[in-house]
């Protein structure tokens, strides 16, 4: 096994600093270099009601889900041994972490520990954890540095890269958030060894998405051995993850705030987010994205934009790794209402990312309602 991590550069844009995404094994040793050492006043006097900070010592808040409490505590203890004032903040598991109440709890802890702009947040976990950690970092003192340590396929190839942070509300997913890129991302592939198979396969949806919108080699690798793609022990695991990250890195390096090009990363997501909300976030994100991509492919085909072979390829690739292709037929009215408040909508005009061909994403704006109904009919069960 090659011990040298792959380093993928994400360029700074819109006034943000560039950063690296590291992919490899045993990467936690890279944390101190990313955290750095902040300068603080040489005083050991505690502010009113708080604990004293040792002179020149930096604070680090390690945010982790309950399911990774042992990992979070181990990272906190290791940072403490290296001289940081490290605290651990435990979050609810999965999408339950992405709420205003959980964010407020984190703000309270940061306030009580007198977290300053020189201090750093570390988010360890899946996509929900990195979304929440980034949002807390973006909003505390109007922005502090943070580092993402994604532990799932989904978080590595999507949530942790690109600086999109956010929480969910009763009205929809990720409607409240901020663009706040991390100072670095550590994708330790060893974390995937204990990931449940359904969670691992869910992450493949985002990898397959990257294949359809930008890098068809991803599709070729999966089609060559779909069963091997379903496991972290597969021969192409590192390459699939690295290729997907490179797709996202290239896009967000050109368009951080989704003013144009970055919209292509939402391929399949408009319907997916509506499904997730309809299921009260009990569906895995990748499962919803899989159905969303089939819908987008059918929409593109019916609109005369996408050829039959590429549209059919969606079903073949997604089903080959065990991802779903259909959703409840009677839920269309509710899904449509939710999609109308999607972030990509403009006024009352729905916008969908579709393909003009393999790796040729484009925007379909204000499609005929009958076209939407017909496309949904192709995924309804």
- Is 129 flagged in the annotation as binding? yes
For the cut 90, the answer to whether the pLDDT of residue 355 exceeds it is: yes
For the cut 90, the answer to whether the pLDDT of residue 170 exceeds it is: no
**Number of other CB atoms surrounding residue 159 within 10 Å:** 26
Out of 55-69, 111-125, 181-195, 341-355, which region has the weakest mean confidence (pLDDT)? Answer: 341-355
- Is 128 flagged in the annotation as binding? yes
Q: In this structure, are residues 222 and 321 in contact, taking their beta carbons and an 8 Å threshold?
A: yes
pLDDT value at residue 334: 95
The C-alpha atoms of residue 277 and residue 338 are separated, in whole angstroms, by 8
For the cut 60, the answer to whether the pLDDT of residue 45 exceeds it is: no
The C-alpha atoms of residue 167 and residue 340 are separated, in whole angstroms, by 19
pLDDT digit string, tens, across residues 273-308: 999 999 998 999 999 999 999 999 999 999 999 999
Out of 11-25, 99-113, 268-282, 316-330, which region has the weakest mean confidence (pLDDT)? Answer: 11-25
For the cut 60, the answer to whether the pLDDT of residue 347 exceeds it is: no
- Is 106 flagged in the annotation as binding? no
For the cut 80, the answer to whether the pLDDT of residue 310 exceeds it is: yes
pLDDT digit string, tens, across residues 46-92: 333 344 455 456 999 999 999 999 999 999 999 999 999 999 999 99
Residue 206 annotated among the catalytic residues of the structure: yes
Find residue 351's DSSP bridge partners. 365
Residue 258 annotated among the catalytic residues of the structure: yes
Q: How far is CA 301 from the centre of its chain?
A: 28
Structure-token match 């070729």, residue found: 220
Residue 266 annotated among the catalytic residues of the structure: yes
pLDDT value at residue 257: 61
- Is 194 flagged in the annotation as binding? yes
| pLDDT averaged over every residue in the chain | 90
Of residues 81, 101, 142, 346, which has the active-site annotation?
142
**pLDDT average, residue stretch 136-163:** 94
pLDDT value at residue 49: 39
pLDDT value at residue 333: 95
Residue 248 annotated among the catalytic residues of the structure: yes
pLDDT value at residue 262: 78
The C-alpha atoms of residue 291 and residue 329 are separated, in whole angstroms, by 12
In the chain, what percentage of residues exceed pLDDT 90? 78
For the cut 50, the answer to whether the pLDDT of residue 111 exceeds it is: yes
Per-residue confidence band for 40, with pLDDT thresholds at 50, 70 and 90: very low
HEC string of the chain equals CCCCCEEEEECCCCCCCCEEEEEECCCHHHHHHHHCCCCCCCCCCCCCCCCCCCCCCCEEEEEEEHHHHHHHHHHHHHHHHCCCEEEEEEECCHHHHCCHHHHHHHHHHHHHCCCCCCCEEEEEECHHHHHHHHHHHHHHHHCCEEEEEECCHHHHHHHCCCCEEEEEECCEEEEEEEECCCCEEEEEHHHHHHCCHHHHHHHHHHHHHHHHHCCCHHHHHHHHCHHHHCCCCCCCHHHHHHHHHHHHHHHHHHCCCCCCHHHHHHCCHHHHHHHHHHCCCCCCHHHHHHHHHHHHHHHHHHCCCCCHHHHHHHHHHHHHCCCCCCECHHHHHHHHHHHCCCCCCECCECEEEEECCCCCEEEEECCCHHHHHHHHHCCEC
- Is 192 flagged in the annotation as binding? yes
pLDDT value at residue 61: 97
The C-alpha atoms of residue 221 and residue 235 are separated, in whole angstroms, by 10
pLDDT value at residue 3: 72
**pLDDT average, residue stretch 16-34:** 92
- Is 158 flagged in the annotation as binding? no
The C-alpha atoms of residue 221 and residue 127 are separated, in whole angstroms, by 24
Could you tell me which residues come within 8 angstroms of residue 71 by beta carbon, excluding any fewer than 6 positions away? 64, 124, 151
pLDDT digit string, tens, across residues 179-218: 999 999 999 999 999 999 999 999 999 999 999 999 999 9
Per-residue confidence band for 254, with pLDDT thresholds at 50, 70 and 90: confident
In the chain the domains, ranked by start, together with CATH numbers, are: 6-35+56-194 (3.40.50.1970), 197-377 (1.20.1090.10)
Structure-token match 């890129």, residue found: 181
Could you tell me which residues come within 8 angstroms of residue 202 by beta carbon, excluding any fewer than 6 positions away? 153, 154, 284, 285, 286, 287, 323
Residue 378 annotated among the catalytic residues of the structure: no
pLDDT value at residue 340: 87
Name the nearest CA neighbour of 234 among 187, 210, 200.
200
pLDDT value at residue 348: 67
Residue 2 annotated among the catalytic residues of the structure: no
pTM of the model: 0.89
pLDDT value at residue 173: 81
Structure-token match 């991509």, residue found: 293
Of residues 248, 301, 313, 344, which has the active-site annotation?
248
Greatest Cα pair distance, the chain, in angstroms, is 70
């Amino acid at each position: 096994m090659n011990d040298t991590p792959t380093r993928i550069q994400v360029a700074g844009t819109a006034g943000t600093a560039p950063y690296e995404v590291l992919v490899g094994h045993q990467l936690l040793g890279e944390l101190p270099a990313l955290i750095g050492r902040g300068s603080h006043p040489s005083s050991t006097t505690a502010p009113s009601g708080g604990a004293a900070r040792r002179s020149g010592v930096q604070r680090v808040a390690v945010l982790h889900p309950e399911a990774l409490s042992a990992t979070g505590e181990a990272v906190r203890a290791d940072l403490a041994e290296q001289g940081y004032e490290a605290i651990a903040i435990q979050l609810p598991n999965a999408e339950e972490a992405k709420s205003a109440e959980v964010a407020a709890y984190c703000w309270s802890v940061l306030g009580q520990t007198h977290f300053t702009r020189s201090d750093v947040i570390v988010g360890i976990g899946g996509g929900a954890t990195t979304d929440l950690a980034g949002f807390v970092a973006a909003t505390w003192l109007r922005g502090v540095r943070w580092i993402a340590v994604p532990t799932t396929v989904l978080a590595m190839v999507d949530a942790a890269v690109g600086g999109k942070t956010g929480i969910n509300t009763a009205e929809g997913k990720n409607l409240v958030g901020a663009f706040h890129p991390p100072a670095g991302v550590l994708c330790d592939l060893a974390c995937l060894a204990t990931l449940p198979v359904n969670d691992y396969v869910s992450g493949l949806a985002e990898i397959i998405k990257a294949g359809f919108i930008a890098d068809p080699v991803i599709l070729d690798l999966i089609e060559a051995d779909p069963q091997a793609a379903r496991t972290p022990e597969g021969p192409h695991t590192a390459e699939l993850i690295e290729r997907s990250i490179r797709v996202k890195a290239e896009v967000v390096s050109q368009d951080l705030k989704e003013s144009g090009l970055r919209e292509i990363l939402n391929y399949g997501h408009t319907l997916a987010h509506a499904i997730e909300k309809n299921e009260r976030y009990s569906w895995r994100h990748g499962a919803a994205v899989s159905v969303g991509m089939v819908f987008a492919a059918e929409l593109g085909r019916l609109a005369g934009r996408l050829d039959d072979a590429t549209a059919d390829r969606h079903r073949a690739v997604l089903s080959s790794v065990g991802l779903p292709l259909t959703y409840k037929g009677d839920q269309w009215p509710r899904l449509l209402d939710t999609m109308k408040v999607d972030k990509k909508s403009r006024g009352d005009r729905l916008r969908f990312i579709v393909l003009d061909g393999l790796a040729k994403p484009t925007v379909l704006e204000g499609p005929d309602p009958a076209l939407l109904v017909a496309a949904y009919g192709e995924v309804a069960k």
